[in-house]
Structure 1
Amino acid sequence: MTRSWWGRVPGLHPGSRSLHRHLLLWLLLPQLVLWAAAAFVTYNLAQRYADQVIDAAQYTASKALARQIKPIGNGLLIDFPRAAQDILEADPDDRIYYTVSTPPGQFILGNRKLPPPPEIASPRLGQPYFYNGTMTEAGQEMPVRVAAQYLRYGEVDQPQLMLVQIARGRASREQLARRILLDTALPLSVLVALMSMIVWAGIRAGLAPLARMRALVEDRAPNDLAPLELEAAPREVHALARAINTLLGTVHQSVSSQRRFVSDAAHQLRTPLAGLKSQTELALAEASDPALKARLQRVHDSATRSAHLVNQLLTLARAEPESGLAQGHARVDLVKLAAEPAAELVPRARQAGIDLGFEDQVGAPLFVLGNALLLREALVNLIDNALRYAGRGANVTVRVRALAGQAQVEVEDDGPGIAPADRERVFQRFARATNAGDGCGLGLAIVREIAERHAGSVTLEGNAPRGLRVLLRLPLAGSSSN
């Protein structure tokens, strides 16, 4: 058993979604991951730069505060006016806390709640130390960033250390980092969205040849095996088109062989069947024994049905798209084309006890683009079916009318009709709705084949109060691309 690696990756099997969505997912997912990584890196860089800027400001403030404390002998003179203190504590949302102490913890002034610096065996004098900590403010724990520096005071023979600390809440730093992130992420998001739109448009344009190929395949008839043409398509699509064309060529050869066999067999059978029919007619004229005459009549009827079947097979072969006869189209007057077979079949209708009539509801030529021989064959088949199955005493009417952009031929009878469940099935080859009559089940299949070759359609409808109406619709000349 052959297994694909797609089956081992959940949700990534290309058959589970369209190729467009699959490519879009694979192209947009890395963009989203990179966008998230860029946002994370940007936020951390913003925090680091904010720390550097605010740390520098805190270091400057700690030096300014240290200058206000002047050593006098073994003591200290604190020159820290109230105005300077108010400046430090002016912003209630981003307050600056300070502490001056002499190690090992003798408090001099400021806030006693600042976190102590980490233990340093030999602190460097006048150099800043920065660290994070927490302090309690109004009963709540608050993270702070602290700048500390050690200073020396006192006599030379009795030096002492003084610790100056400046602390500031981290809210301003995080706010600054978020602003930097927002100012960076917003244009980055716009660029990602714009890139996603470009990627979407690029995928759509790149897959357009596949859409055109799909349209070429979907729009063609089931028996149209002509090669696909994609001259302007990319190389990858050319490879797919060549593979499909190879398959179509193989199928075409197989179907053509079968059709040639049917056509050749039908041609070979026409002559002996015609001879058999003539001989049985002569034998019937000369036979006097009733039993022998009945047997000869059955042979004659069988020969007649076989000859009709052969003629229908030949007509079906001519209607196929590969037939040269099916390709030649010209402007044809459908009114005249329908009137001729209706008039020619009047003697046969009278012999069968059927009233055959023709109605021209146009009053002028009604031109369609098509093959006159094939269209005539389709009309003959429709009238022939009505005469075969309507029954003695029935009325058959051939009617031509013009609709919006279409010409319509109706063959209407008041015979037994066809049940609605069988009206689509009878268009299949060798399918019959009844065992009555001597038809072979190819008439309506031939009509549909010819109608499709002319971009038209054929449908069956009930005819109130009883009977059947067959509608053959063809595009008017100039309204079709055929």
Structure 2
Amino acid sequence: MKAASTLRAKLLRHVIVPLALTWLIGALLALAVARYFTQQAFDRALLDDAYAVASHVRHAEDGGITLGLSSVEMGNLLFDQNENLYFAVYQDDGRLLAGHAGLALPEGARSAVTPFFTETPFQKLLLRAVVLGRSKPAHFTVVVAQTTRVQDRLFERLLFISLVPQLLLVIWLAWWLRRAIQNDVQPLMDLERAVAQRDVRDLTPLAISSRTLDVQKLGESINALLHRIEQSVRGQKEFAGNVAHELRTPLAGIRALAEYGLTQSDPQVWREQLRSIAQSQERASHLIDQLLALALAQEAQQVLQPQALALDEVVRDSLMRHLHRADALGVDLGVDFAQGLNAPVILAQRALLEGALDNLIDNALRYGVPTDGGPRHVTVALSQPEAGAVCLSVIDNGPGITDAQREQLLQRWAQGSAGEALKQGSGLGLAIVSEYARILGAQLSMSRPASGPGLQVSLRLALQPSVG
């Protein structure tokens, strides 16, 4: 398996390789352009020499043409202290009129449009030549060629002057980029080292470098994750501690009842003990459900997503879950929807809303026992106290609570006088409702019902804005 490259190596490759290729292509293009214009300058001088030679072609006495320059005059005309120049003048029929006999007319020159520039061999040298055709005083062709030593040396110097400084500049730029990239990725490497060296039990926030915004955001995201993990671990520890602490008593009671029953031989005693065991098991199951509900509340903000809920449907489903129990207890369980409140819709987590409503109905069925022994009734009411809000209330006609008890009952493991008298519950119901209300963004309130004695617990929820 091929080893993965480091981020620094990838950045260097992705920056330096395109930079080097761009420099190389640019340098080659610049050299090609410089070579082209340099060649144009030399070719212009070579063409001027060809015109000078052609200007000295005259009519001869026999009716033909002749070159009106001596060899000395021609040497002065084509003098160059750095290059060797050669010439040849050809008549229209291809015969050499004057010049160097070995300097042949280049192939293709006869049919080409003049002036025509090309390379031609002469005396084991490759010369730069120009072919110039003239029609006066008669048709003839002039070939002038020269060596390219100066031109080659000039191009070599141009190549050196152009490439070497740019190459040094690219090397310096690559060195600077390497240092800059190293400095830029150093906070990321420090963050990686800090995470790698962190103990599994250490969930404290990491030190975040503010040198680069991306690394800062990454560090903040990691710290936010550590915070969520810490909350989850704390919740799990608290849940485990609560379970261990609270289940110890009912389990010990169940064991004691069973051991006592085993020591008796009377079937009636066995029946009473089994009935007590069943009641203790029911209380333990209820306690476990309450503890699981608290654990759900601590995870709901990260796990459960809000959704549009029809509040009347949630109320109907909750009533159906508790209707059988209410009938068994002789409680009149019903609903009361305010007039004009048509299918209110809220944005909330369904599990939390149902959990809050189930706990409120369960509390009302447990503790809403009238002190005068009269008939019991529990009502789930929906009203609209103001535009954009709906109030979900659970009302019973029990003994109610005092003003001093309202804040106390929102704490975990706190029970009211009815719960202590009935020896039921664990003191978690209203604490769960309070936690759910906080996550739902609802306002929890407890008051005396307008219809008489009892307790009214209300959740004020925001309606979902209507579309259109």
> What is the TM-score normalised by the length of structure 2?
0.45
TM-score (norm 1): 0.44
User: Larger Rg: 1 or 2?
Assistant: 2
